[in-house]
Amino acid sequence: MSDNATRLTGTSFAVLTLIELLGPSTPYELKQALERSIANFWMVPHTTFYAEPTRLVKGGFLSERQETGGRRRKVYSLTDAGRSVLEAWKCSAELTPPQLREEGVLKIFAGADPVPVFRARCDWHRAKLAELEGYLEAVTGEDPAWEGVRASLVVGVAYTRMMLEAMEGFLESQAATGSP
């Protein structure tokens, strides 16, 4: 009946999911996988991410053992409790609202000129698009267990491309009316 149970956040489920996909893993392996996938739609700073497995062990959702050679890193595996909360989360229909933090729009709100803001964001989204397409290419033809991984990258690519096209359209329309 303890009420200070480990709170499970999106970051927790990100870690659990990665271990389910990869099998027993070290924190760095998890982090590498994260950055090529989940981090693009569920951002986690690395210091938070490294802390998460420890929390999950404390909550009984992961078990931990030490590598015997090399750096003697810790290797984490799912426990039955971990597997079961992960399954429950996947099946549940509940979704926390999407959270967006876009400093560019904040500046526009404050009265800044939208053109440089969108130009900067176009560059950012162009780079991101190339990055995501690279990740997607790397997982095509993989194991069917990775279907969700592929699907999420497809969503990410579509989203990024949509944003990029919308902003490019805006900038072109501005260029047409802005200067003679």
- Provide the binding-site residues for DNA, judged by CB under 7 A: 4, 6-7, 9, 11, 26-29, 32, 44-48, 50-52, 55, 70-71, 73-74
Give min distance, CB of 39 to its own copies, in A.
10
**Nearest by Cα to 168 from 118, 130, 108:** 118
Nearest CA to 59 out of 6, 123, 137, 129 is that of 6
Cα atoms found within 13 Å of the Cα of residue 171, Cβ hemisphere only: 15
Q: Which is nearer to DNA, 49 or 118 (CB)?
A: 49
d(CA 167, CA 127): 14
Apex 138 CA angle, 134 and 140, nearest 5: 115
Nearer to DNA, 52 or 118 (CB): 52
Closest distance between its own copies and the C-beta of residue 113, in Å? 9
Q: Which does 111 bind (CB under 5 to 8 A by kind): DNA, its own copies, none?
A: its own copies
Residue number with CB closer to DNA (11 or 160): 11
Q: Residues interacting with its own copies, by CB under 8 A?
A: 10, 13-14, 17, 20, 37-38, 40-43, 86, 89-91, 93, 95-112, 114, 116-117, 120-121, 124, 145, 147-149, 151-152, 155-156, 158-159, 162, 166
Rounded to the nearest whole angstrom, what is the least distance from the CB of residue 65 to its own copies in the complex? 24
Are residues 10 and 96 in contact, defined by beta-carbon separation less than 8 angstroms? yes
d(CA 61, CA 5): 12
Least separation in angstroms between residue 172's CB and DNA is: 33
Smallest distance, its own copies to C-beta of residue 162, A: 6
Q: How many CA atoms lie within 13 A of 157 on its CB side?
A: 15
